[in-house]
């Protein structure tokens, strides 16, 4: 428990309707005896605070970034959610398995970047993205990737963003409006 918490307990006890009689902490008259000795390396930020002339424009820039990109951020989140739901709710078929195999084989054989995510510092195939985009369950992507060393090598050598375009079954735009994901299609890609 830190000193501030004990001090607050004492203050709230004194202000409560039924005080318990918690005594005043001894450091209220001088805290130096109760804190570890001050050191150059511990606890304190050795960097000078930013001047108001610098902080003002930074805050304006941060607010502008939020205002300018909020719609894009919400749209990306809705699309991410749609892809994850599509990958999890799609029932697999031989056609959906073939769509995954054909798409990734095409990327590998034409030396294009492969949709990749990095987890625990290791690049991996963006299974949720690929499955959701191609109308297949994520399990198809995982199963096929385990059996194809060329795919793993392509991920290692030519990682691409996990949002690279796949030929989806639906030509409609990914967002119908602000924050409204399109309906999930379970049709396999052609």
pLDDT digits (tens, 9 = 90+) for 118-151: 888 888 899 999 999 999 999 999 999 999 999 8
Q: Where are the beta strands (DSSP E) in the chain?
A: 114-119, 122-125, 159-160, 175-177, 180-181
Q: What are 86's two structure tokens? A: 């599509």
The whole-angstrom separation of Cα 40 and Cα 78 is 47
In this prediction, residue 171 has a pLDDT band, given cuts at 50, 70 and 90, of very low
pLDDT at 187 over 60: no
Predicted local distance difference test score (pLDDT) of residue 136? 92
Query: Average pLDDT, whole number, for the chain?
Result: 78
Q: What is the mean pLDDT of residues 79-105?
A: 91
Tell me the pTM: 0.53
The whole-angstrom separation of Cα 34 and Cα 20 is 24
Sign of CA dihedral 9, 13, 16, 19: positive
């Amino acid at each position: 428990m830190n000193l501030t918490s004990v001090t607050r307990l004492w203050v709230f006890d004194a202000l409560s309707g039924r005080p318990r009689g918690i005594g005043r902490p001894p450091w209220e008259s001088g805290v130096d005896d109760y804190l570890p000795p001050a050191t150059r390396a511990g606890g304190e930020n050795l960097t000078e605070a930013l001047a108001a002339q610098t902080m003002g424009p930074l805050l304006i820039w941060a607010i502008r970034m939020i205002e300018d990109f909020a719609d894009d951020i919400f749209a990306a989140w809705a699309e991410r959610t749609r892809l994850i739901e599509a990958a999890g709710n799609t029932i697999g078929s031989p056609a959906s398995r073939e769509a995954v195999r054909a798409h990734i084989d095409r990327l590998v054989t034409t030396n294009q970047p492969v949709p990749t995510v990095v987890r625990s510092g290791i690049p991996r195939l963006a299974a949720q993205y690929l499955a959701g985009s191609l109308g297949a369950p994520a399990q198809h992507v995982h199963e096929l990737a385990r059996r194809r060393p060329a795919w793993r090598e392509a991920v290692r050598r030519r990682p691409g963003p996990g949002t690279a375009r796949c030929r989806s079954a639906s030509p409609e735009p990914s967002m119908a409006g602000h924050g409204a994901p399109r309906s999930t299609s379970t049709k396999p890609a052609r």
